[in-house]
Amino acid sequence: MTYAKYSASGNDFIIFHSFVEKDFTQDAIRLCNRTEGIGADGLVALLPCEDADFKWKFYNSDGSNAAMCGNATRAVAHYAYNNNLAGSKMKFLTEAGIIESEVTQDVVKTQMPQAKVIKEEFEQEGLTWYLIDTGVPHLVTFVDDLETYNHDLCAKMRYEHNANVNFAKVENGKIYVRTYERGVEGETLACGTGMVACFLRATQLKLVEDLAFVYPKSNEELTISIVDNKIFFKGAVKKVFTATID
């Protein structure tokens, strides 16, 4: 099999396409291993689909499934376009629904799923939280200093609420985010659905406008906007390498 490794703002993925649909759980565990495999935050298999250009099966590095991953949508769109699986404008099916993406050289813009508020503002562990589903559930808290991010606290909140955990800071109209991701069970360099969750909460609190620059742990610049009640997520992706593995 031939696999491509992609990085989307530091969030890395192993991507391949197949005409045979099966359970790729063990492939994800083996290939995402950073010491004995290729190493990645997740694995994505692209498969034929009657209602879209293709559909995906997404796996976290521990083999668990995720309905949606914002950064992966951008990486997958770039892969699909450059492997002639779709045009520069495409639609593909995820467990969170149909995703539309547009590729312009190495920059990809994705229309994200409509968000759903799971739990309004609440207090826990001395912080104010907000729980929202942006394709997958995310806890969001705003802090004055991102160094207050705490792995043990994130792990506790993650299991109690079955959600990813985001610490965010707004400064000069820009949003800075650190995210603890389910399935990875630790902090990742970027999380697209997490950044979108923080952006939506920031707009609700009137901390940013309907278009904002967002910076994850990798410090790469991404743009998130709301146009006609639709959410768009835009940023560069990078193909790291292609490998053929027996």
Confirm whether 69 is a catalytic residue. yes
pLDDT digits over 80-115, tens only? 999 999 999 999 999 999 999 999 999 999 999 999
What is the rounded (10 degree) CA torsion for 18, 24, 30, 34? 80
Q: What is the average pLDDT across 131-160?
A: 97
Confirm whether 32 is a catalytic residue. no
Cα–Cα distance for residue pair 92/71, rounded to 1 Å: 14
Both tokens of residue 68?
A: 């949606």
pTM recorded for the entire structure: 0.90
Among residues 32, 154, 191, 198, which one is catalytic? Answer: 191
pLDDT digits over 204-243, tens only? 999 999 999 999 999 999 999 999 999 999 999 999 999 9
Cα–Cα distance for residue pair 243/246, rounded to 1 Å: 10
What is the rounded (10 degree) CA torsion for 153, 137, 123, 151? 10
